[in-house]
Structure 1
Amino acid sequence: MSEPKLKLSADVGGTFTDVVLEHGAQRWTGKVLTTPASPEEGVLRGVGEILTRAGRSIADVDIFVHGTTLATNAIIERRGAKLALLTTDGFRDVLEIGTESRYDQYELALIRPKPLVERPLRFTIRERVDARGKIRLALNEADVRAVAEQLAAHGIESVAIAFLHSYANPTHEKAAAELLRSVIPGLYVTLSSEVCPEIREYERVSTSVTNAYVQPLMDSYLARMKSKLDTMGFRGALCLMTSGGGLTSVDTARKFPVRLVESGPAGGAVFAAQVAARLGERKVLAFDMGGTTAKVSIIDEYRSETSRVFEVDRAARFLKGSGLPVRIPVIEMVEIGAGGGSLARLDNLKRVTVGPESASSVPGPVCYNIGGSNPAVTDADVALGLIDPATFAGGTIKLYPDLAKTALQSAIGEPLGLDAEMAAYAVYEMVCENMASAARVHTVERGVVASNHTVIAFGGAAPLHVARVAEKIGAQRVIVPPNAGVGSAVGFLAAPISYEMVKTKYMRLESFDAAAATELLAAMSRDIRAWVEPAAQGEPVAERRVAFMRYVGQGHEIAVELPLRDLDATDTVALRARYEADYEKLFRRAIPAAAIEIMAWSVNVSTISRLPEQVKDVSQFSSAQAGESIRIFDGKAGKPIDVSRYRRDKLPVGARLAGPAIIAEEETSTFITESFDAWIDSLGSIVMERKGMNA
């Protein structure tokens, strides 16, 4: 049997950078504070620490998988490049017109996210290609040269080129890019025909602009990271986690950084799916709460839901259409600003409000004593006694409970006439309610019942809050797996090397062009395999082909699986049958004999990701040995109570205990509320079930 590979991963969050080293069944984990000014410094410090603990060097590492929120944070905080947009004459304002829909029908003072490129820096070019790809008006090169002079005068770093119908014929976009680069060497140029070659003008332009906005930042960061790793002696494969749950190359990530927007949460979804498979949990809510945000996603039959559109920087927390649309393959989830670093305050009506603003790692929560002055969720957890100040983050960060209580008393307690502990409880309750609301909305939108799902919690802050969130949504079972505190980074190591490409080519079934469809799919497959197969290093790969189909005149498509062979005219019968079967699953009925059209085609090539084998259930239980008695504040009772605190590494498989209790470990702590009993399963997970249920 061949020697297992030494794998390393790093997940850069808004507050912490998580690092995991894995060699076969051995695993080392660590957390360091993120260094926002130069994220690679925190990554490399964490890598150095974990390699030292394992007695290894960077030269020993075979694969290094990296995920980061850098692109997402740059968009939200508006720290991207100075940007311009080139579009077809007459379409200058497509970013503000959008789809002309209103995410809140009756709100008169509707607030929309500000476009990433200001109107004076949106330039139009005389050219026109129709929806079939035929050139109706040749590219006016004089317009492009004139714009190039203005770009240079404005000091533009990056430009997005998004011409009308360029998905059908990219000739004009490519010619314009060549002209710009000849006038302004070193200019970053994003072509919509490369980053999002699909119909729907608004989404395509928005995706292109988003890519151009973060490209200089991400390109510089990844170049620095790769250079420093090379200098340190790293000779393995460096991969980046994408929002779709797969790994891609550094070169691809530098060209299309928009695909990294949800890389961390995607790793968490992979982690939760692996845990669900090992425990035989077929209906799961994955609950990921880190330092800055909380995410909720649905995992059904060990697979995460996926989508082709994601919204960044929503103006309204739960309302679709209130953010900037990004059309990329993404794992479907809802994300809110509710993490350990989320700031607490009173609004104008003296209501306790938490997030979305975050203390991040700099200046951090008040209890870190590194400059933070406004109380955060972590301050509330510390003030309630849920976190051991001496062992937080493995003892690498000392916490100061008195500072946390003083800040909570000043910002929340005094205006409301509460003491510091009750103010902390108010913050704790509010952040849990925010996350429960997100879970309710996400499940209702997908037609499932939240209470029928097992909650799998991971991320540094999730185990502290998941029991209360489960109480609020009615969930009966909660699982906190081993290494939950660094779950996303663990998930990176289980992700397949993959890439998905989607292209628009319109066809109707009654005039199906099998040769053209086959040619398009084959070309997409060749382009993807050119990177995936070498990166797979001999591992077998699988290919999936999909047609996005709809009844003529409808607004949205259904993904229909295609055979992995050349198509022919007789395939139209099977395609109609598959489409109508899928349509009936969604809407309970098909429309007989209605015309069907194909709007886009997708090819995905990936290494084969095998689910782990299910572990056996615990057969024997025993009462956990008495833990350390500590005092926490019980907000419901309005007074301190005594509870037991256990060390997770001291609890054997089958150990049972009753809530309220705390189970502490280096990466996080799990708070078991009074509503739950808990035990350690054969995987080493903490399993909580509502009291009164059969174990």
Structure 2
Amino acid sequence: MTIRLGVDIGGTFTDVVLETPEGWHSTKVLTTYAAPEDAIIDGMHQVARKAGIDLGAITQIIHGTTLATNALIERRGAKTALITTQGFRDVIEMRTESRFEQYDLNLKLPPPLLARNRRYTVTERMDARGEVLIPLDLAEVEALAETLRAAQYESVAVGFLHAYANDAHERQVAEVLAAKLPGVMVSLSSDVSPQMREYERFNTTIANAYIKPLMKSYLTRLKGRLADEGADCPVFLMHSGGGIMSLESAAEFPVRLVESGPAGGAIFAADIAARHGLSKVLSFDMGGTTAKICLIKNQAPKTARVFEVARTYRFKKGSGMPISIPVIDMVEIGAGGGSLAHVDAMNQIRVGPESAGSEPGPASYGRGGTRPAVTDADLVLGKLDPQNFAGGSIPLYREKSEAALDAAIGQTLDMDATEAAWGLAEVVDENMANAARVHAVENGEDLAGYTMIAFGGAAPLHAARLCEKLGVDRCLVPQGAGVGSAIGFLRAPFSFEANRSVFMRLSAFDAGAVTALFEEMTEEATRFVRSCDATSDILADHRVYMRYAGQGWEIPVSLTAEEAANPDQNRFKELFEEAYVSLFGRAVAGMEVEITVWSVNARTAQTTRPGLDPGPRGAAPTTDHPTRTLFDPALGKPTDAAVIPRDALTEAQGPALITEDETTVVVPASRAVRVLEDGTLDVFAKETRP
């Protein structure tokens, strides 16, 4: 009998889901920052009691965490050094020399993760083909090791020019460091991110080294605590690419855990899309600290090779720390239940990215918070029941929310508490809607015809209003929406993506070399997956990144297994032009085409999981339920909304509030809601009834 536990540590709540052959149980507990494992243990005991099982019966734990991301954002990693090629010490400070805000004369670039006095160089040089131009001076490396020992570094990143083409020099340095500094952790760019573009590669390797001691300590501590509590079973980690990796691999490559929680949410939405046969889905995940928006086409989330952590300038692309690893492509903004609001110098309401988190939390929590958060606005607008928030485990205090809204917004803008809450909610909803529009445009998509899937504790409160703003007619809120990312962990495959940067022009296409390259990467990726799962069938997805000669960036081109096994120059060009036209509207005739990066993603085949229990059905009409005053921003006035428990709903007209322990689904006057066969709520525009 398989009993699996999914755990998602967020900025405000830690979500825990226990899945058994009979169904699943879930809970939300406040995240414990000082010792994140405490919240996991608490939640694990709660769901085990609900299921009536001993902790020893759990056979597998899948975990996702924001710890890696937070350590990078807050810059509280280990004392780390970089060893790089002579002459390239300042690559991570020079960046790409692009300005993310053209007209800001006082533009400040974010500081690099390592100051200049922590960046060291040695004599060596490879060319782009991997041929040695200057041999590595081992005596110089040995002398440098003594310098690093004297400075008491905990971790070292090694990034040499063109190491993706030939890693020999990096391996030699690793051998010297292992002999001279046995207690120091080492990260090689050829292991962490074997791809071209030294700025992104060096930065990713430094980030891995920077958080490696912290994450290794946490994962070891967590494994021990779980065993002490009786849950002595395999622990796996969700990685940013949407798959599962072993605890040992996660400890070695913790940078792959960045965005692991949001990746679980995208997998959850893709699973729901597959169940309902939807080919165009907008995944909307809103928790306590951030909101994540992802496009899912043909039941698979869009992926990318580079993304940014800790954007410092209004979430502008280019203002953050680039991490070059396989990742589910999404936009993430500081808009969650705990996001704090203020009035700026131009008397405009601003929301986020600063968050109240769980300590002290929004003002309504009564835990010492005095500034208004999105949750405070939701409470004052009638979206939340102060007595039944988080299943009644966290009482909310409306008077504290009103006082915070009045102090921060009302007194400055001459508004009462309801107007201030309305303004706050509209700003945060418009921020999210604008992020969704921009993300769609950047990916060449029109949101018309898309279906939204909303999950996370706060998303069902805001999803219908987002749909109104975006012109999206339909929104699905699945069962377990409040803990969607944790459920997504239990739906994810074991997977690993192998990448190689091998430059090849189509005019010099070498089919034999391509076949050998794909075979090598397939073997590497499959071996990694087999270390986690020894029995399941393994599938492989092949992809190349291509561009016209002279362009700075590539676009992904997917290949079938047949096209990868029997590579054909003409077919590669056809596929590239199809993808290029899809993104940019037309191909460029007569231009040379280049391939820069090759990728193989090995993953276990999806297995059938227990369906979500649709629960009992009631046929009581809406008028038989109590009502609560709900402010409808589209109408600009309060309305009387029916309050209906989710397990008593079959169909209702808005305005209505569909309640459950972990969230509330707001159905405004423009929408209606019905229950689908698997228990999913279908919230749709009244004039477009399915």
Which residue of structure 2 lines up, in the alignment, with residue 608 of structure 1?
605
State the 1:14 CA deviation. 0.4
1:557 pairs with 2:554: yes
State the 1:570 CA deviation. 7.3
State the 1:123 CA deviation. 1.4
Asked if the contact 1:88–1:128 (Cα under 8 Å) also holds between the matched residues in 2, the reply is yes
1:397 pairs with 2:386: no
1:134 pairs with 2:131: yes
Scaled by the length of structure 1, the TM-score of the pair is 0.93
1:220 pairs with 2:225: no
Asked if the contact 1:277–1:611 (Cα under 8 Å) also holds between the matched residues in 2, the reply is no
Which residue of structure 2 lines up, in the alignment, with residue 452 of structure 1?
449
Q: 1: distance between equivalents of 2:493 and 2:573? A: 31
Q: CA 1:551/1:111 → structure 2, altered by over 3 Å: closer, same or farther?
A: same
1:491 pairs with 2:473: no
- Which region of structure 1 is more displaced relative to structure 2, 98-107 or 306-315? 98-107
1:661 pairs with 2:656: yes
Scaled by the length of structure 2, the TM-score of the pair is 0.94
SS at match of 2:532: helix
- Which region of structure 1 is more displaced relative to structure 2, 412-421 or 564-573? 564-573
- Which region of structure 1 is more displaced relative to structure 2, 248-257 or 656-665? 656-665
State the AA in 1 paired with 2:660.
E
1:542 to 530, 539, 543: 539
State the 1:515 CA deviation. 4.2
- Which region of structure 1 is more displaced relative to structure 2, 603-612 or 416-425? 603-612
**How do 1:568-579 residues align onto structure 2 when only pairs under 5 Å count?**
571-579=568-576
1:10 to 1, 7, 10: 7
State the 1:360 CA deviation. 0.8
Asked if the contact 2:526–2:538 (Cα under 8 Å) also holds between the matched residues in 1, the reply is no
Q: CA 1:569/1:25 → structure 2, altered by over 3 Å: closer, same or farther?
A: closer
State the 1:218 CA deviation. 1.1
1:8-38 superposed Cα distances (whole Å, 9 cap, x missing partner): 1000000000011112351101100011111
Asked if the contact 2:391–2:661 (Cα under 8 Å) also holds between the matched residues in 1, the reply is yes
Asked if the contact 2:629–2:641 (Cα under 8 Å) also holds between the matched residues in 1, the reply is yes
1:621-670 superposed Cα distances (whole Å, 9 cap, x missing partner): 8744522222344567776543221111222xxx2222222111100111
Give the gaps of 5 or more residues in structure 2.
none
SS at match of 1:325: strand
Asked if the contact 1:317–1:336 (Cα under 8 Å) also holds between the matched residues in 2, the reply is no
SS at match of 1:230: helix
State the AA in 2 paired with 1:356.
P
1:277 pairs with 2:274: yes
Give the gaps of 5 or more residues in structure 1.
none
Q: 2: distance between equivalents of 1:137 and 1:113? A: 33
1:648 to 646, 649, 655: 646
Q: 2: distance between equivalents of 1:25 and 1:414? A: 54
State the 1:369 CA deviation. 1.7
Asked if the contact 1:342–1:355 (Cα under 8 Å) also holds between the matched residues in 2, the reply is yes
Q: 2: distance between equivalents of 1:18 and 1:285? A: 22
Which residue of structure 2 lines up, in the alignment, with residue 190 of structure 1?
187
| Residue identity (%) | 48
SS at match of 1:535: coil
State the AA in 1 paired with 2:243.
G
Which residue of structure 1 lines up, in the alignment, with residue 629 of structure 2?
631
Q: 1: distance between equivalents of 2:370 and 2:634? A: 28
State the 1:199 CA deviation. 0.6
Which residue of structure 2 lines up, in the alignment, with residue 266 of structure 1?
263
State the AA in 2 paired with 1:376.
A
Q: CA 1:495/1:382 → structure 2, altered by over 3 Å: closer, same or farther?
A: same
Which residue of structure 2 lines up, in the alignment, with residue 413 of structure 1?
410
Which residue of structure 2 lines up, in the alignment, with residue 376 of structure 1?
373
1:28 pairs with 2:22: no
2:241 to 215, 240, 244: 244
Q: CA 1:613/1:555 → structure 2, altered by over 3 Å: closer, same or farther?
A: farther
1:303 to 297, 300, 305: 300
Q: 2: distance between equivalents of 1:285 and 1:587? A: 21
CA RMSD, aligned part only? 2.6
Q: CA 1:585/1:640 → structure 2, altered by over 3 Å: closer, same or farther?
A: closer
1:303-339 superposed Cα distances (whole Å, 9 cap, x missing partner): 2111111111112335322211111111111000000
SS at match of 1:101: coil
Asked if the contact 1:293–1:336 (Cα under 8 Å) also holds between the matched residues in 2, the reply is yes
2:345 to 344, 348, 356: 348
- Which region of structure 1 is more displaced relative to structure 2, 459-468 or 583-592? 583-592
Aligned residues: 687
State the AA in 1 paired with 2:272.
V
1:47-93 superposed Cα distances (whole Å, 9 cap, x missing partner): 11111111112221122110011111111122222222111111111
Q: 2: distance between equivalents of 1:449 and 1:163? A: 42
Which residue of structure 2 lines up, in the alignment, with residue 683 of structure 1?
678
State the 1:608 CA deviation. 1.2
Q: 2: distance between equivalents of 1:575 and 1:504? A: 17
Which residue of structure 2 lines up, in the alignment, with residue 118 of structure 1?
115
1:476 pairs with 2:454: no
Which residue of structure 1 lines up, in the alignment, with residue 464 of structure 2?
467
SS at match of 1:579: helix
Q: 1: distance between equivalents of 2:550 and 2:349? A: 47
Q: CA 1:581/1:336 → structure 2, altered by over 3 Å: closer, same or farther?
A: closer
2:360 to 345, 363, 372: 363
- Which region of structure 1 is more displaced relative to structure 2, 581-590 or 498-507? 581-590
SS at match of 1:678: strand
Q: CA 1:281/1:598 → structure 2, altered by over 3 Å: closer, same or farther?
A: closer
1:97-132 superposed Cα distances (whole Å, 9 cap, x missing partner): 222211222222223222111122111211111111
1:234 pairs with 2:231: yes
1:210 pairs with 2:241: no
Q: 2: distance between equivalents of 1:564 and 1:538? A: 21
Q: 1: distance between equivalents of 2:444 and 2:594? A: 27
1:387 to 371, 384, 389: 384
Q: CA 1:639/1:215 → structure 2, altered by over 3 Å: closer, same or farther?
A: same
Which residue of structure 2 lines up, in the alignment, with residue 288 of structure 1?
285
